Structure formats: structure tokens, C-alpha cells
Amino acid sequence: MQTFLKHTLLWISIYVIYTYMMSYYDDLKPRMAANVVNVALFMAAYYLLKHVQIPYLYNRGKMGYFVLSIAISAFIISAICRINGILWMDAYFGKEGYIPFMTIGSYLLKTVRFYTPAMAILAWESHQERRKEKERIQLLEKEKLTNELKFLKAQINPHFLFNTFNNLYSYVVNQSPKAPDMIMQLSGILDYVLYKSQEKEVLLSQEVNTIEHFLKLEQIRYGERLEVSFQTDGDMSVPISPLILLSIVENAFKHGVSGDIDFPKIDIEIKGTSESIYCRAWNTKSKLQGEINDAYKEGIGLSNIKRQLNLVYPQLHELTIDDLEDSFCLSLSINLLA
């Protein structure tokens, strides 16, 4: 609706400007009537360029078809203009004598005339889109460091690291065979978070590999008390912004294995295709009401996930949350085609 109003005001403004440019004529009414037709042809040239010729021909590298389509559409617009002249404009403006239907000169003149507003508007829109994209990239780069710091503090948080190192210390002292595996899993997580996450995008397989390290580490930590199901499917070579899926998984553990849950369960599913990435994280939830569940619904981890998605995949993702009495499910779908 907002776009419709903006375009309506734009074309009204163009009509007023073109009519004002002809205000030196004694009889303005014919000029006003003629400009109704002119603006309609301006609109035809603009919307044809914006929604057909540029996206389906120019942007796809079909330059020959693009130039041909411009030539044909310009001929049709010029013909419509001339037909209007024959039907009523010539008589309305008092033109007498033979007037050719179309010459090369009149064709070129009308092409420039009717495509000039369209090109000017498209140039302005392109400038605005580049400016907004530049601002978005600058904001993304500015927020990236903040998000990484938030991730280390809130996602792979000191509490998690403290418990992990405590368990590791206990295993080492008791010479448990679990200690080497625990060190390996923790090393894989830290290597990814501290180094690979600096990249703009990573392969989905790299994110999944780090999630596997995290799951194995948590399985060691909680033992048989915890039931974890992790399924992956599809193309794991597609690109994804790092840490987002790992944050979702860690968020499920942060709130899904609290002490009052006798047998906590975590169910995670990740699918990748050339068009999209899908992630679903389901977990049991504490039945205690009040601060625990309030923090769970809008905790730091979940807020950070939403913020990262809005920055990296604006209008390209769908995040849904099913908050039930004894379980919590977060589903994320990311569109990779745009």
C-alpha cells in the first residue's frame, strides 16, 4: 500500500511538472489533456523496464533480446502516441496538412521523450538501493564484532566453559578415558568460534561439524540422563553465516536440560538444499513458572539469534516458535536464492 501511494504521488508530480512546463501556452486545456496520455505512456515505459525488460532480459545477460525489446516497445509507444494524434490530438491542437505516421526522426525523438522519465526514476531508485545496501553492510560489519562478543559471553558462556573445564579436570584426575574425547570436542568448538566464525560465510557442513562437537561434549557431561537425537539431510555444501545454527542448538540445551527435568530430551534436525536451509530444535522444558520460563522465552540467546538473522538474512528467513507447557520448539527456514 505504501509503495502504491508513493508511485501515485510520483506520477501526479510528473504530470504537474510537465503541465507547468507548458503553462506559457494561451490555451492550457489541450496540453493538460495531452499530458494524461503522455504520463500513461511514461508509466508504460517505466513499468515495462522495471518489471520485465531489466529483470528477465538485462539481469540475465540477454543483451540482444533486451535491446530488441526496447526497440519494439519504443515503436509500440510511439505508434500509440501517433494514433492518438490521428484520432483527436492533431485536430485538438489545430494541426493541418499531411503528417506522416512515423519517421525515423519522430521514432527516435519519441523514444528519448518517453523513456527519459523512466530512466531517471530507475537511476534514482538504483542509487537509493545502493545507499541502503551500503548502510546495511556497514551496520552488519559493525554489529558482527558485537555479536561475536555476545556469543562468547551468552552462547558459549562462562558458565558452560566453567562446567566443562570442571568436568574435564575431574576426568583427568581420575584418569577417565573420557578426558581425551572431551578435549577434542572442546578444541573443535573453540577453533570454530574463535577463527572460522570470522568469515562471512562457511559451508553448512562446517557448522554441522561444530554442532556435533557440541552435542558430544554435552552428552559426555550429562551422560545417560540426556537423550539427544540429531539428524541431517540434503546438501551440506551450501553457504551459511556462521554461529546461527550453533546458537539455536546451544539455546535448546541452555533451557532444556535444567535440573528439575528428570529425563531431558533434545531433538535437532538440519536440512540443506540449493534453495534453502532448514533447522528445527525441539527440547523438553522446565514446568516451573515465573522467572525461568520468562527468561526462556526472551532470553539473551534467543534475542541474539533474532538479531543475527535480521542483520544477515533480512526478509529472507522465517523463524517460528512453538512454546508449549512441557516443550519448546524453534524452527528456522533461510532462503538462499535472493
pLDDT tens, N- to C-terminus, the chain (338 residues)? 677 888 788 778 888 877 777 655 556 666 677 778 888 888 888 888 888 888 888 888 888 888 898 889 888 888 888 887 667 666 666 666 667 777 788 888 888 888 888 888 888 888 888 888 888 877 777 777 566 545 544 445 555 567 677 777 877 887 778 788 888 888 888 888 777 777 788 999 999 999 998 898 888 878 888 899 999 999 999 999 888 898 899 888 877 776 667 788 999 999 999 999 999 999 998 776 444 444 444 555 687 788 788 878 888 999 999 988 888 999 999 999 86
Question: Residue 291: its pLDDT value, please?
Answer: 45
Return all residues near 86 (Cβ < 8 A) that are at least 6 apart: 101
| Surface-to-core class of residue 24, CB atoms within 10 Å of its CB (0-12 exposed, 13-18 middle, 19+ buried) | exposed
Per DSSP, helices labelled H in the chain are 2-21, 29-48, 63-84, 90-92, 104-150, 158-173, 178-194, 204-222, 244-256, 291-297, 300-312
Return all residues near 178 (Cβ < 8 A) that are at least 6 apart: 171, 220
Question: Residue 93: its pLDDT value, please?
Answer: 62
Return all residues near 278 (Cβ < 8 A) that are at least 6 apart: 269, 270, 271, 272, 331, 332, 333, 334
Question: Residue 238: its pLDDT value, please?
Answer: 95
Residue 295's DSSP bridge partners are none
Which set of grid coordinates corresponds to residue 276? 534453502
Pairing verdict, β 276-284 and 265-272:
antiparallel
Q: Measuring CA to CA, how many Å separate 16 from each of 11, 56, 71?
A: 9, 32, 28
Q: Which of 307, 214, 188, 192 is nearest to 266 (CA)?
A: 214
Integer Cα distance of 307 and 1 in angstroms: 27
Where on the phi/psi map is residue 231: left (φ > 0), alpha (ψ -120 to 50), or beta?
beta
To the nearest 10°, the Cα dihedral for 223, 226, 229, 235?
Answer: -60
Integer Cα distance of 181 and 172 in angstroms: 11
Return all residues near 94 (Cβ < 8 A) that are at least 6 apart: none
For residue 225, what is the DSSP state?
G
At how many degrees (to 10) do helices 29-48 and 104-150 cross?
50
Pairing verdict, β 276-284 and 327-335:
antiparallel
**pTM (2 d.p.):** 0.54
Integer Cα distance of 105 and 113 in angstroms: 12
Residue 24's DSSP bridge partners are none
Question: Residue 251: its pLDDT value, please?
Answer: 84
**328 by DSSP, 3-state: which?**
strand
Residue 328's DSSP bridge partners are 283, 323
Please enumerate, as own/partner, the contacts of 314-323 that have beta carbons within 8 Å and a separation of 24 or more.
314/136, 323/297
b/e string for 66-87 if b means 16 or more Cβ within 10 A? beebbeebbeebbebbbebbee
Question: Residue 120: its pLDDT value, please?
Answer: 86
To the nearest 10°, the Cα dihedral for 299, 239, 316, 271?
Answer: -70
Question: Residue 335: its pLDDT value, please?
Answer: 94
Integer Cα distance of 54 and 46 in angstroms: 10
Q: Which domains does the chain have, with CATH numbers?
A: 2-133 (no CATH), 156-335 (3.30.565.10)
CA 200 to chain CA centroid, Å, is: 15
Summarize pLDDT for 233-286 with one digit per residue, the tens. Answer: 999 999 998 888 988 998 888 777 766 677 889 999 999 999 999 999 999 987
